[in-house]
Structure 1
Amino acid sequence: MSAATRDLELFVREALLRGQPRPAIETALVEAGWPPEQVRDALEAYAPVEFPVPVPRPRPYLSAREAFLYLLLFASLYVWAYHLGDLLFDLLNRALPDPADPAWQRMRADQSMRMSVASLVIAFPLFLFVARLLSRELARNPAKRQSVVRRWLTYMTLFLAAGVLVGDMIALVYHLLGGELTLRFGLKVLVVAAIAGGVFGFYLTDLRREEREA
């Protein structure tokens, strides 16, 4: 923690201890040149409860058990999302065959589909089980939403999903400009957009709901 941040937290604590209202504290600090976001974070470090001294909120923490569960959750998410797309790609290749496809690609389709189905059978139920377990723990103890590993993995997932969506749109425009857009390729673009967009939308909505509740 820097000296400036420590001074800000000490000032906020002292002001709350003296009974100063939060809006007045925020206004004074902003007029003094402090960034509004930093001021709000310093104020939100203390719960708005009636008590003779400021009551600190729980700070973000790192639990080994939660790190394991969230790593398992997101790893299983990546596995089933990838293999769902791979399975749908193979089904499209079989439904809309291209004579230009090499023979080895057609021969490995069955093996690829078996691997995708096996991965979905294991990874998707595992994802649902861990997600349900973590959801129950968050309902019992909402402070666990501040878990550092949870927020980092959530934002990393948003970054990966956004990257996939951008790459998907680039590929679509590239083939469109080259006059090479086929029905099979267009459907594959829709598959990638649906999976990546669904993941991105779900976790973005979850983060926005947390911000509203906060």
Structure 2
Amino acid sequence: MKPADQLATFVQDGFRAGHSAQDLRAALAAAGWSEPEIDNALAGWADHGLRLPVPRPRPSVSAAEAATYALLFFALLSVTWNVVALAFWLVEIWVPEADGSTGYGTARSMRWSIAVLVVILPLFLWLQARTDRDARANPGQLRSPTRKKFGAITVFLAALVLVADSIAVVFAFLNGDMTLQFLIKAAIVALVAGLVIAWFRSFLAEG
């Protein structure tokens, strides 16, 4: 039996025998269990004077949920990447550099980004609406570790993009490469990353 299962069984039996949480905590500490282990074991059960342990809701993970969030993450990356790429190409058309150089703008590449957005953007919106609908129908899903990990990774990556974007702006300023086109592109990146953080930070909220 795993240590966590041993603790869960002990706490359950202890509550059923009429012992308080303080008594069980003292006994476990005297036996050598660490405070985090004791806290986690006691968090799984409640004693409401029924002389019967009442299970508390605990996070759970399903394969279907993991697949949904993995697909949502892929769709999010595809949408943000191609939105930024398409915006960059449009900026290069509307605000050309003085030397006429371009880094992105080919008609074939623009058509590819449009094609990706036509297919992936509706998929992303549908997956996002589905996860929100499921969370409203079953608030217990707000405790899902998969949901929280997805939110944490998404917000972390968006924050890294903001930091890298800020570094690029400072470097361009110090290097004398600051142009209107570059500033517009940097603003686009910051806007998209900020929207991603604002959109998905609710995934980190406690359920």
Which range, TM-score by smaller chain?
Answer: 0.7 to 0.9
Aligned to 1:62: 61
* Residues 168 and 189 in structure 1, CA contact (< 8 A), matched pair in contact too: yes
Q: 2:177 aligns with which of 161, 176, 180?
A: 180
Matched position secondary structure for 2:178: coil
Aligned to 2:20: 20
Aligned to 1:198: 195
Q: Aligned-pair distance for 1:65?
A: 1.5
Aligned to 1:145: 142
Q: 1:111 aligns with which of 103, 108, 111?
A: 108
- CA deviations 1:80-109 (Å, max 9, x no partner) are 111111111111111110143447x5761x
1:1-214 correspondence to structure 2 within 5 Å: 3=3, 9=8, 12-13=11-12, 16-17=15-16, 18=18, 20=20, 35=35, 40-46=39-45, 51-102=50-101, 105=103, 108=106, 110-208=107-205, 211=206, 214=207
> Root-mean-square deviation (CA), in Å?
3.2
Structure 1 CA distance for aligned equivalents of residues 5 and 157 of structure 2: 35
Structure 2 CA distance for aligned equivalents of residues 106 and 155 of structure 1: 31
Give 1:72's aligned amino acid: L
Structure 2 CA distance for aligned equivalents of residues 101 and 28 of structure 1: 75
* Residues 86 and 116 in structure 1, CA contact (< 8 A), matched pair in contact too: yes
* Residues 13 and 54 in structure 1, CA contact (< 8 A), matched pair in contact too: yes
Matched position secondary structure for 1:60: coil
* Residues 83 and 113 in structure 2, CA contact (< 8 A), matched pair in contact too: yes
- CA deviations 1:20-59 (Å, max 9, x no partner) are 36xx579969x98955x66554443225767442222343
* Residues 72 and 124 in structure 2, CA contact (< 8 A), matched pair in contact too: yes
Structure 1 CA distance for aligned equivalents of residues 190 and 48 of structure 2: 45
* Residues 15 and 47 in structure 2, CA contact (< 8 A), matched pair in contact too: no
Give 1:185's aligned amino acid: F
Q: Aligned-pair distance for 1:7?
A: 6.6
Matched position secondary structure for 1:136: helix
Q: Aligned-pair distance for 1:198?
A: 1.5
Structure 1 CA distance for aligned equivalents of residues 46 and 117 of structure 2: 44
The count of aligned residue pairs is: 204
Structure 1 CA distance for aligned equivalents of residues 13 and 24 of structure 2: 13
* Residues 60 and 147 in structure 1, CA contact (< 8 A), matched pair in contact too: yes
- CA deviations 1:105-160 (Å, max 9, x no partner) are 5761x222222222222212111111112222222222223333323222221221
What's the % identity of the aligned pairs?
34
Q: Which runs of 5+ in 1 are unaligned?
A: none
